[in-house]
Amino acid sequence: MMVHRMLAKDSLLRNLKSGLTAVLLTSLLLAGCSSGSKENTPEAKPNDGGKDASTAIGSSYPLNTTETITSWEILNMNAVTFYSNLADTPFGKALVDQTGVQVEYIHPNDQQTTEQFNLMIASDELPDVIEYDWTGRSAGSYPGGPEKAIQDGVILELNDLIDQYAPNLKKKLEADPTLDRMVKTDSGKYYVFPMIRNPSGLVFRGPMIRQDWLEELGLPVPTTIEEWEKTLIAFRDEKGATAPLSVTYTGGNFEIRDAFIGAYKTSNSFYVDDEGKVKYGPMDPQYKDFLALFRKWFAEGLFDKDFALTDTKALDNKILTGQTGATVHLLSGGMGKWMDAMKEQDPKFKLVGAPYPTLNPGEIPFIGQRDFKYNPGPSKAITTAAKNPELIVRWLDYAYSEEGSLLYNFGIEGESYVMENGAPMYTDLIKNNEKYSLQQMVSQYSKPNGPYEADERRNWNTFPEQDEAVKVWSKTDAEKHILPGFLTPTAEESKELGKILTEVSNYKEEMFVKFIVGKEPMESYDKYVEQLKKLGIERAVEIYQSALDRYNSR
Amino acid sequence: MAKLPPPTRTSIPSNTAGLNPRKWGLLKDISKNRFLYIMLIPVLLYFAVFHYFPMYGASIAFKEFSPRLGIMGSPWAGWEHFESFFNGIYFWRVVKNTLLISFYELIFGFPAPIILALLLNEIRKTAFKRTVQTITYMPHFISLVVVCGIIKEFTMSDGLINDIMAFFGWERVSLLLESEYFRTLFVTSGIWQNIGWGTIIYLAALAGIDQEQYEAAKIDGANRWRQMLNVTLPGIMPTIVILFILEIGRLMNVGSEKIILLYNPSIYDTADVISSYVYRVGLQEFNYSFSSAVGLFNSAINFTLVIGSNWLSRRMNKTSLW
């Protein structure tokens, strides 16, 4: 029997369809078939038959309908602790009560969202609404972007629908031209109901450092590269930190991507310079200085010797056991989490946000982390499979109304929030729960992410240091220099770009690590830049430049 | 499938009885042993549905695949993806790494279980033998993710291996950041994990050797070493050859999961193999067509290798898979 097992395992057939081909083909097999056959019958479903219903639904909430909408969206990680479906949460139930619309939610598996999204598109079995990144700006979002998605017949162009049935969203878009520019395509098409971040939610990552160590050593919070070096040396020598500065490195993404680099007036990727020209940071001459700094820190044991192997779990361990005294990480997923974890074990443990370092004192960091008002991931598009787009639009528009906004941000009045002097405040049930954190409680009663406008008055930070950190991290020129995330290269350009970037980003990341660990001499920097050019980086910059020009003239 | 039970005298259907038995042999056989054939159907279906049918999807290697258009609907791209792989800057590196790692696995990893099996065979104390066997095959049941976690922990700059090295006055280095150690780590950890499991099959083959041959050898004055060379080894040779051919077939199929779990950009130059490259480009960067072209290229080489080694072995020592 053993023999049989071994033989079967290694059989020729298995080899034939080895590796990825196997995985892909089996999974896409059925998908491919069904979509192939459906291609012949282009759908002309929407827009007809909706007219009679439109008057019946009415324009005031709750809407008068018996239809059920299907919605594909991620269920918040914290909410999963309590419920497996959004419809069962207090929020989901309240939303049905208030809008009068029954919704059937389909939640993809958290780990395989992209795969499941791709399969869903390929199989052509679309729900009415899909909450996903359609911008095409990053791997994982819809390839080719929103124009392509509309052209492919996956989602609907929303211009007329918003015009007629979404007064609340329309008002917001008219009042905010910057936002308006972000959520439409080059040719002026709207394609989603956007998640709008509140101004304090734009900055959520940055350098942080052990305040209690600094106090003990009598050091100030470092602001320049020089001060950082001094501090890290002190951490190494006096506090016995084996990896004084450590960051995570997952999926080829380095978490110092925006910190420290800004001191040298460049970035770890594409950016916009002061003249409005697109540039690629990793081939700038200044980038070499940044590499040299980390090469030195690595060699002197100031920067984690195992940095390329550090994932979130390893970093947790290093921070909590005092091997690391400084890092670049998230506001709640890092700072809040670690302080929470150490509350009882070591009450002295305290992290504070440090400003993005600069070369000379008093300078403003060239770049930092700063996201955009429009968050494309948790934004909803309406698919071509929707039978009653008007109903869906009305349902989605509720989130931007006054009552809707309160529900989405704060939950249920009297239960999760109360009005105090005209301002909603979370109740003790949410804020001071014995068993669960604020984030966990909030996820049951409201929607942490999704298409609506985040309220400025809500605050999910648990520690005052977090509020402080946001202020500190916000003082950068990032807004000026970050390449807008909503550029839309044309289909041709996207194809070209995809090819170039695959090779460029692989090569850049590999060389980045090699320069830092000292395996590649600094002298080969010029050769490295040459190679980047050979891989077509200049063409990629050109493409982004023309996309940026189009964006600016939207 | 070739040998079916001899025909029984009963139940010869009347309509075929008068026909030429040679011409209608199969039909007759089917009608006679219809239950056996019915039992064969699910097996054939399984292979057709899960092993042959999916192969049509390999065509996306020649297409500009878009999920929405499906495999059939996507436009053809010809050899474009193959060309860009062959002309890419990583082609030689990944092919070289794949071959080297496989080659090391073959020369160090393949004989390891044979040697262990021979050693175990010489042990007379069953209790000790059982213990050794259990201990050596245990690691096989540890999930790969855990194994890689262990390897990572051990090789970190403050890990066990470094602790030992530091004790002898060596400098601490993060072993998984140094390309020159990767192959050694990969192959030795592989041996550690699979040696005991691989031994089982050889022990089974050993058990099948006729004891009388040993008696005869002893009478002829062969010591234990001689017995091993002249009786034991030839006895398990067919097993070794078959497993070797299978191993050759996997030559280009280095365990990509393990590599993906272990590697990082600083050691791509020795660790990146075809399958990990396929994974990176295909799944992480959504370049389906390109990566299936690379996968297809890999499979084609494997296929040739198996056919070739099978042919060679049939000519040289009359043992072969088919």
**pLDDT score, position A40:** 39
Asked if B249 contacts B306 with a C-beta cutoff of 8 angstroms, the reply is: yes
| Contact B190/A at CB under 8 A | no
CA distance A122 to chain B (A): 4
Nearest-by-CA chain B residue for A509: B265
**pLDDT score, position A2:** 39
Contact B152 A309 (CB under 8 A): yes
| Contact B207/A at CB under 8 A | no
Asked if A303 contacts A283 with a C-beta cutoff of 8 angstroms, the reply is: no
CA distance A13 to chain B (A): 7
Tens of pLDDT along A247-301? 988 655 666 767 899 999 999 889 999 999 999 999 999 999 999 999 999 999 9
| Contact B66/A at CB under 8 A | yes
Tens of pLDDT along A425-462? 899 888 888 888 888 889 999 998 889 999 988 888 88
Smallest CA-to-CA distance from A382 within A123, A49, A146, A144 is with A146
Neighbours of A421 (CB within 10 A): 5
pLDDT in tens for each of the 322 residues of chain B?
445 555 544 444 445 445 555 667 788 888 888 888 899 999 999 988 888 887 887 888 888 777 667 777 788 888 888 888 888 888 899 989 988 998 898 899 999 999 999 999 888 888 999 999 999 989 999 998 899 989 988 988 888 988 998 889 888 888 888 888 999 999 999 999 989 998 999 999 998 888 888 899 989 888 888 888 888 888 898 889 888 888 887 777 777 888 988 888 888 889 888 888 888 777 666 677 888 888 888 888 888 888 888 888 788 777 777 7
Tens of pLDDT along A308-320? 888 888 899 999 9
To test the contact with chain B by mutation, choose from A506, A507, A513 the residue with the greatest count of B C-beta atoms within 10 A, namely A506
Nearest-by-CA chain B residue for A249: B264
Tens of pLDDT along A286-333? 999 999 999 999 999 999 988 888 888 889 999 999 999 999 998 888
Nearest-by-CA chain A residue for B304: A16
Contact B201 A18 (CB under 8 A): no
Nearest-by-CA chain A residue for B172: A305
Contact A17 B152 (CB under 8 A): no
CA distance B296 to chain A (A): 7
**Which B positions 241-300 lie with beta carbon below 8 A of chain A?**
243, 246-247, 249-250, 253, 256, 264-266, 268-269, 274-275, 278-288, 291-292, 295-296, 298-299
Written as six digits, the tokens of A284 are: 């700038």
Choose the closest CB to A306 out of B70, B156, B282: B156
Contact A18 B253 (CB under 8 A): yes
| Contact B26/A at CB under 8 A | no
CA distance B58 to chain A (A): 7
For residue B306, which residues of chain A lie inside 8 Å, CB to CB?
Answer: 12, 15
Q: Which residues contact A97 (CB under 8 A, 6 or more apart)?
A: A62
Contact B249 A12 (CB under 8 A): yes
What is the Cα–Cα distance from A262 to A365, expressed in whole angstroms?
5
What is the Cα–Cα distance from A442 to B73, expressed in whole angstroms?
45
- The larger pLDDT score, comparing residue A151 to residue A229, is at A229
| Contact B182/A at CB under 8 A | no
DSSP code, position A463? S
Contact A10 B249 (CB under 8 A): yes
Rounded to 5°, angle at Cα A267 from A263 and A270: 160
Contact A2 B200 (CB under 8 A): yes
Q: Is B19 helix (H, G, I), strand (E, B) or coil?
A: coil
For residue B281, which residues of chain A lie inside 8 Å, CB to CB?
Answer: 502
For residue A32, which residues of chain B lie inside 8 Å, CB to CB?
Answer: 57, 70-72
CA distance B201 to chain A (A): 6
Contact B177 A21 (CB under 8 A): no
CA distance B194 to chain A (A): 13
For residue A20, which residues of chain B lie inside 8 Å, CB to CB?
Answer: 275, 278-279, 282-283, 291-292, 295
Contact A154 B68 (CB under 8 A): yes
Tens of pLDDT along B97-128? 988 998 898 899 999 999 999 999 888 888 99
Choose the closest CB to B296 out of A13, A21, A531: A21
Q: Which residues contact A442 (CB under 8 A, 6 or more apart)?
A: A78, A411, A416, A426, A430, A448, A460
**Which B positions 91-150 lie with beta carbon below 8 A of chain A?**
none
Banded model confidence at residue A22, pLDDT cuts 50, 70, 90: very low
Long-range contacts, stretch A321-325, CB < 8 angstroms, 24+ apart: A322/A239, A322/A240, A322/A241, A323/A241, A323/A242, A323/A243, A323/A246, A324/A241, A324/A243, A324/A244, A324/A245, A324/A246, A325/A209, A325/A210, A325/A213, A325/A232, A325/A235, A325/A239, A325/A241, A325/A244, A325/A245
Look at residue A26 and tell me whether its pLDDT is greater than 80: no
**pLDDT score, position A49:** 41
For residue B156, which residues of chain A lie inside 8 Å, CB to CB?
Answer: 306, 309
For residue A12, which residues of chain B lie inside 8 Å, CB to CB?
Answer: 249, 303, 306, 321
Choose the closest CB to B298 out of A19, A152, A507: A19
For residue A381, which residues of chain B lie inside 8 Å, CB to CB?
Answer: none
| Contact B69/A at CB under 8 A | yes
For residue A28, which residues of chain B lie inside 8 Å, CB to CB?
Answer: 57, 60, 67, 71
Contact A249 B264 (CB under 8 A): yes
DSSP code, position A242? S
What is the Cα–Cα distance from A547 to A272, expressed in whole angstroms?
12
For residue B57, which residues of chain A lie inside 8 Å, CB to CB?
Answer: 21, 24-26, 28-29, 32
For residue A25, which residues of chain B lie inside 8 Å, CB to CB?
Answer: 54-58, 60, 292
What is the Cα–Cα distance from A503 to A255, expressed in whole angstroms?
21
Side-chain-facing half-sphere of A303: CA atoms under 13 Å: 24
Neighbours of B262 (CB within 10 A): 21
Asked if A541 contacts A279 with a C-beta cutoff of 8 angstroms, the reply is: yes
* Mean pLDDT of the A131-149 span: 80
Contact B68 A35 (CB under 8 A): yes
Q: Whole-prediction pTM value?
A: 0.76
Smallest CA-to-CA distance from B271 within A502, A510, A314, A294 is with A510
To test the contact with chain A by mutation, choose from B177, B246, B278 the residue with the greatest count of A C-beta atoms within 10 A, namely B177
